Amino acid sequence: MDVKETAVRLKRGTDLKKAIEDLCKEKGIDTAIVLSGVGSLYEAKFRLAKAESFFEKKEDYEIVSLTGTVSRGKAHIHISMSDETGATIGGHLLYGCLVDTTCELVLGILEEYDSLREYDPETGYDEIRFIERR
């Protein structure tokens, strides 16, 4: 599998999830994976496990991990971040995570695959399906 990349530095005040989706739309990227994302946030919003509660705080955080997929302009990304004591928390990235000083983002473009999201009655969510291009 050949993977091409695109990279961007996000600046203060940028909504992290929106920026990832917008970058893919602007570059005509249908299917991508997050290869790397490092930086900081001054506001964090994400969904916690079991999809029943949310984390939302206006504090300084370091992004220690960012991983996920983008399919036809929709991002499914998980984030881990640490506070000033080193305590780490993470979950499903939501709109409203705002970049502080920077976020250095690298996406892998999966040109050999198309993808779509389909409802999965077993999970109750729209789940990704990768389709190999021939």
- Domains in the chain with CATH codes: 4-132 (3.30.1330.80)
pLDDT (0 to 100) of residue 50: 81
- Mark 40-66 as b/e (b = at least 16 C-beta within 10 Å): bbbbbbbeeeeeeeeeeeeeebbbeeb
Phi-psi sector, 68: left (phi>0), alpha (psi -120 to 50), beta: left
Closest CA to 1 of 106, 129, 118, 130: 130
Joined tokens for residue 10: 């996000």
Residue ranges in the chain whose pLDDT is less than 70: 1-2
Closest CA to 7 of 30, 31, 23, 29: 23
- CA–CA separation, 111 vs 128, rounded Å? 16
Residue 117 one-letter amino acid: R
pLDDT (0 to 100) of residue 2: 67
Residue 7 one-letter amino acid: A
Residue with tokens 């893919």: 24
pLDDT (0 to 100) of residue 134: 78
